Amino acid sequence: MKDHEGIDAAGSCPSGEFSGESGRRDYRMLPVAVVVWACCVVPKDYRQYEVFIAMVLAAVSFAVSAWAFRFRKLWRVRGQVRARGRARVWEQQYSKPVEARSGRWITGVRTCLRGCVRCFPGLIVVAVAMLCVLSSIYLHEAVELHDAAQTVQGHMVSEAQLKVTSPATVSIRRGSDCQYRAVLLSVTAEKMKQPSHREVLAFAKGKGCSITPSEVIAASGTLKAATFGTLPLWFEMTEESQPTRIRSPSLVRRMVATMLTSFFAVCQGLSEQGRILVPGVTMGVLGSDTVMTGLEASSGQASSDDTNAGKAIEENFKNSGIVHLLAVSGGHFVLVAEFLRKFAARLRLPRFLGALMVVMGYAVLAVLMYPSDSVLRALVMGVVGVACTTFGRASQSMSVLSVCVVCSLIVRPGLATSFGFALSCAAVMGILLFSAKITKRVPRVVPRAVASAFAVTLSAQIFTLPVQMLMTPTVPLLSIPANLCVAPFVSFSTICGLLGLLCSAVVPSVAWILVNVASVGTSVMNRCAMLFGDSSASTFSLPVSGTVAAVTILSAEMIVYGIVAFIGRKRRVSDGEIWSGMSTDSGTLNV
């Protein structure tokens, strides 16, 4: 019987060599995702060198992978304990004459070359993925270049037809009451109507904020280039023009709008922090940023007191390093998936029906949440994982994440420059790579739940911190204790908030009880954010910003990782592990 390392119970490998492969550590798609992402972020000025840069990255990624795999295979032979494998290699190599030992470097070079040959199919996969993403990039750029919105940019538009894609939120600019994402369907300028497909951020006032996602409206305004934000175009509606509904939203969207309106109305009876944080923990948008949607709303403005309080609370959450709790990501989808899987198992449904139920739950959750790139990442990754399980293949998280990144960037190359998408992917990758290792190295006197929460928090910040430096060069120093304090209250607050959202339109009294229970958890989060974030010692500002700050943090993390690995190796040698498995008479390992 073999374990997951490919070694049988006797400690030997039947094929004569150590395979080093594990189904739970399948990283073959990771270099593909890295190369695809690199192709999407290459600036246009260096686009002529994009193929060369991508091929170099692919070659380097697979060469490093092959070298690391073969190096481990050469030095870790037929043993389950790494120190024992090094002891045997030491005995085999240094007990021979110098002439015999000189050949081990040639053997190492040969093994590395064989590893590169084995990685050749992976290079083919990288080439195909790179061809697909480059074709997608050039097609998107060609469509945007010849779009009608590009020609009328900076001019007055007599009529623009827009399809609303997100709920209305409080405007980030002065002079407007609300903002929402929309897709231009057509623009009319100088009595000429032209089709368009550009995504814009629309700004409106008064009754112009009474919109529902998926409805089509017509309005006049100015189309201009965005001065900040992720969307490249802004559409400012004129004060005299009020949006005219051309096509009503679908029945599902009307039901969702009614549900959200009822949920926000129920949350209005909570305390100040509850009105702000319960919607944030539940659906990813602060209560101070929401605008009452649907035709029932009589005003598109939120109270100034809640807006100011929301800004203060959000700043405390950022300084304490727990602002990720206010964004919808994989945690919501994991809770829904676990509940539906257990429900399907209790009913003894076939695997296909159980998977279909989980996918439908994902779709409903995505519709209810505020649309964001992190929600898109969680949805795609969840669907890919369910598909693997449906077809009888164990879901491997790193492969699922890599496939999610590749597919998402091929369809929408602009996601490569989205901080929300990058932070979500970086957090998941850090958890998958380091969480289990950190948990094993936490002293046993620490409770298992605390050790797991500490490992998840620390591993998630390994890759997200450099990305955060691209946005603001501020390091939250107390993020780990803050996350440990709020960890016990996150799940039940999220569950109560989701249940309250589902019950708000049907049974408001039950929803009132549920959001009050959720408010208890958010009050603890708010107090922790004030404790760890409302002080000058909670953050450290770097003297540099942008790419330099990100590279600085990444270099510091690599140095710390090298020091920790070196100390761990020295400790194992000093403890005598290197000699513990060696038999003095035969030179074999006692497994």
What pLDDT is stored for residue 206 in this prediction? 80
Q: For the ranges 44-58, 131-145, 324-338, which has the lowest average pLDDT? A: 44-58
* 481, 365: one domain: yes
**Mean pLDDT of the chain, nearest integer:** 77
pTM listed for this prediction: 0.79
Return the closest-CA partner of residue 480 out of 461, 466, 502.
Answer: 461
Q: Encode burial over 435-457: b for 16+ CB neighbours within 10 A, e otherwise.
A: beebbeebeeeeeeeebbbbbbb
pLDDT tens digits, one per residue of 391-407: 877 778 888 899 999 99
Give dist(CA 120, CA 65) in Å, integer.
12
- Greater confidence (521 vs 303) lies with 521
* 391, 515: one domain: yes
Give dist(CA 406, CA 400) in Å, integer.
10
Confidence of residue 516 (pLDDT cuts 50, 70, 90): very high
* 179, 121: one domain: no
Q: For the ranges 256-260, 321-325, 406-410, 578-582, which has the lowest average pLDDT? A: 578-582
* 108, 168: one domain: no
- Whether the per-residue pLDDT at 70 is higher than 70: the answer is no
Q: Which of 200, 225, 249 is the last residue of a domain?
A: 249
- Whether the per-residue pLDDT at 85 is higher than 50: the answer is no
Q: Which of 123, 145, 167 is the last residue of a domain?
A: 145
Q: Mean pLDDT throughout 477-495?
A: 87
Give dist(CA 483, CA 571) in Å, integer.
30
* 101, 199: one domain: no
pLDDT tens digits, one per residue of 381-440: 989 888 888 887 777 888 889 999 999 999 998 888 888 888 889 989 888 888 888 888
* 68, 47: one domain: yes
- Greater confidence (510 vs 542) lies with 510
293 falls within a domain:
no
pLDDT tens digits, one per residue of 183-205: 998 888 777 888 888 888 988 88
* 359, 491: one domain: yes
- Whether the per-residue pLDDT at 303 is higher than 60: the answer is no
Q: Mean pLDDT throughout 542-546?
A: 79
* 457, 530: one domain: yes
Which of 70-79, 238-247, 279-288 has the highest average model confidence (pLDDT)?
Answer: 279-288
CA atoms within 13 A on the CB side of 410: 17
* 229, 350: one domain: no
8 falls within a domain:
no
302 falls within a domain:
no
Q: Chain centroid to CA 27: how far?
A: 18
CATH code of the domain covering residue 210: 2.40.50.140
Give dist(CA 283, CA 285) in Å, integer.
6
What pLDDT is stored for residue 581 in this prediction? 44
* 136, 200: one domain: no
Domain enclosing residue 569, as ranges: 323-575
Q: Mean pLDDT throughout 524-547?
A: 82
261 falls within a domain:
no
What pLDDT is stored for residue 54 in this prediction? 60
288 falls within a domain:
no
Structural domain count of the chain: 3
What pLDDT is stored for residue 310 in this prediction? 80
Q: Mean pLDDT throughout 16-40?
A: 69
Give dist(CA 228, CA 43) in Å, integer.
18
- Tell me the three-class secondary structure of 99-139, residue by residue: HHHCHHHHHHHHHHHHHHHHCHHHHHHHHHHHHHHHHHHHH
From residue 98, give the alpha-carbon distance in Å to each of 93, 103, 498.
9, 9, 70
Give dist(CA 177, CA 187) in Å, integer.
23
Percent of the chain, pLDDT > 90? 6
Q: Which of 204, 220, 249 is the last residue of a domain?
A: 249
162 falls within a domain:
yes
275 falls within a domain:
no
What pLDDT is stored for residue 518 in this prediction? 92
DSSP H or E run through 386: helix 373-390
* 141, 153: one domain: no
Confidence of residue 554 (pLDDT cuts 50, 70, 90): confident
* 157, 240: one domain: yes
257 falls within a domain:
no
Tokens representing 79 are 């043993």
pLDDT tens digits, one per residue of 95-109: 444 444 445 556 656
Q: Measured in Å, how far apart are the chain's first and last C-alpha atoms?
A: 15
What pLDDT is stored for residue 74 in this prediction? 40
